[in-house]
């Protein structure tokens, strides 16, 4: 069974993002909602190569109600985790992500799952 391996879920609003995501750091996130039984349903996966807190703020007030997050040591680690999450949760067939995750700017990294 696919899992994000992240903290949360938390309500996706500015105050909760700042309360939970306290470090300026690269990182990953999943956006979605929580079913009545408490199961988090992943609808979108993403990352930030430098500040996951700042990136999450871009999503407030939109379609998604909850978020999960994790920190990454660097942009490469965040990219590779985003790729694994993207593939684990069905890619653009099952997620709202329209395309495969983009490489970090200025790199030639390859997806660890599909070598894209």
Domain ranges of the chain: 7-94
pLDDT 10s per residue in the chain (116 long)? Answer: 688 999 999 999 999 999 999 999 999 999 999 999 999 999 999 999 999 999 999 999 999 999 999 999 999 999 999 999 999 999 999 999 999 999 999 999 999 999 98
- Contact at 8 Å (CB) between 45 and 81? no
Architecture of domain 7-94: 3-Layer(aba) Sandwich (3.40)
- Contact at 8 Å (CB) between 78 and 26? yes
Q: What's the predicted TM-score (pTM) here?
A: 0.96
Query: So what's the pLDDT on residue 71?
Result: 98
- Contact at 8 Å (CB) between 56 and 17? yes
Query: So what's the pLDDT on residue 2?
Result: 80
Residue 79 CB neighbour total at 10 angstroms: 24
């Amino acid at each position: 069974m696919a899992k994000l391996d992240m903290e949360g879920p938390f309500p996706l609003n500015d105050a909760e993002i700042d309360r939970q995501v306290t470090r300026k750091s690269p990182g990953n996130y999943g956006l979605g909602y929580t079913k009545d039984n408490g199961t988090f349903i992943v609808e979108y996966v993403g990352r930030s190569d430098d500040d996951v807190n700042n990136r999450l703020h871009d999503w407030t007030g939109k379609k998604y109600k909850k978020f999960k997050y994790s920190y990454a040591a660097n942009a490469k680690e965040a990219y590779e985790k985003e790729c694994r999450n993207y593939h684990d949760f069905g890619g653009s067939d099952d997620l709202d992500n329209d395309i495969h995750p983009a490489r970090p700017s200025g790199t030639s990294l390859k997806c660890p799952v599909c070598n894209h």
